[in-house]
Amino acid sequence: MAEQPLFKVTIDNVTVEVPAGTTILQAARKAGPEVAPPAMCYYSKLEGSGGKCRTCLVEVSKGSDRDPRPMPKLVASCRTTVMDGMEVKNLTSERVVDARKGVVEFLLINHPLDCPICDQAGECHLQDLSYNHGASGTRYEFQRRTFEKHSLGDKIQLHMTRCILCYRCVMVADQLTGQREHGVLERGERAEISDYLEKSLDKEFIGNVIDVCPVGALTDKTFRFKNRVWFLKPLNAHRDCPTCSGKVTLWNRGDEVFRVTARKDQWGEVEDWICNECRFDKKKTSDWVIEGPREISRHSVISQNKYIGMVKPKETIDEVIGKEPRLFLDIHDVSQVNEKDRDLSLIEGPAHSTDFKEKDEKKQ
Ligand code: SF4
Ligand code: FES
């Protein structure tokens, strides 16, 4: 078979060689994370993704060696393929920086800006995008769009107000579960993700919609409001699963498994799709073989908890009281909220005061 020709592309002054047919975005990712444009709708593992959000716009300042004319308009890098000798500007182009700021403003027009109570906070691509490319204020003065609260099945919560209509979840349902029962209804300002006639989505791999959603529009009901991701310790773990690869990331606090997700690569994309049983039902550390701490990008707020290579300060207390742990004060003696035999991760849905009151009443 004849070898595929390699095209030379320069992105923000970094030159790489890629096979013909590669998109500018893929070439930029090869050149490195510093020059790669952000992508809110493109997902390399989902066929046909991209072309919806416009966050990946770049300027082509030279079309190719053969035809060096620049492209007149900014182009979506996830949908435009490279030519030999092409020169692309991402962050080095004022036009791109300005356009991206406009795109972020549009994406946030109807967004409720509820990061303080959103479960996606800390790992939200829209949050990162607005910090890196957005404006500090909003010019929008009208009432924001709202929707009825909606569930996709009994394990997945949809907050339509946060959705950016990237279509990734629709593609996951289409391409992974083999039977899609939700999609985008209506058009324009009224467009919304909806399941058809309230049918619940109980397909084996549907939980992956939570992992591909770049914002907090789709969240895991078994984890909602239980903890902040940056307080949890991400661990690589696996189990012998008959349905999927069983390779996951556990999000623990101590021995409690608060959340199970698929493992993600440096672009935030799932490495191996996982099944619903692994994601929603295996919430005990004993269900898993722990491989070790998960590597987290140092740019992420989650890396605040990172402990690989951590240099521990000298523990004087050990020297004073010896190695045996000795409690000076047992918090459970003075607080009814923080009962020691209460496993937060095993409470169905968000933990409410009633979870504790019920127990108190039984005691009386
Ligand atoms: S719910 Fe999430 S994944 Fe689905 S279209 Fe909206 S933003 Fe994209
Ligand atoms: S990532 Fe290219 S348009 Fe959304």
For residue 210, the ligand closest to its alpha carbon is 1
Q: Where are the domains of the chain?
A: 6-103, 120-126+141-220, 229-305, 316-363
| Side chain identity, residue 138 | T
For tokens 């991400």, name the residue. Answer: 234
Bigger pLDDT: 362 or 99?
A: 99
- 278 Cβ inside 6 Å of ligand 2: no
Predicted pLDDT of residue 175: 83
- List, in order, residues 6 or more apart from 172 with CB less than 8 Å away: 46, 205, 206, 208, 209, 212
Predicted pLDDT of residue 195: 62
Which range among 145-149, 225-229, 259-263 has the greatest average pLDDT?
Answer: 259-263
CATH topology of domain 120-126+141-220: Alpha-Beta Plaits (3.30.70)
CA 97 to centroid of ligand 1, rounded, Å: 24
Averaged pLDDT for residues 135-158: 85
CA 106 to centroid of ligand 2, rounded, Å: 14
For residue 55, the ligand closest to its alpha carbon is 2
Name the class of domain 6-103. Answer: alpha beta
For tokens 């003696």, name the residue. Answer: 333
pLDDT for 5-24, tens place per residue? 899 999 999 999 999 999 99
Query: If pLDDT is split at 50, 70 and 90, which confidence band does 217 have?
Result: very high
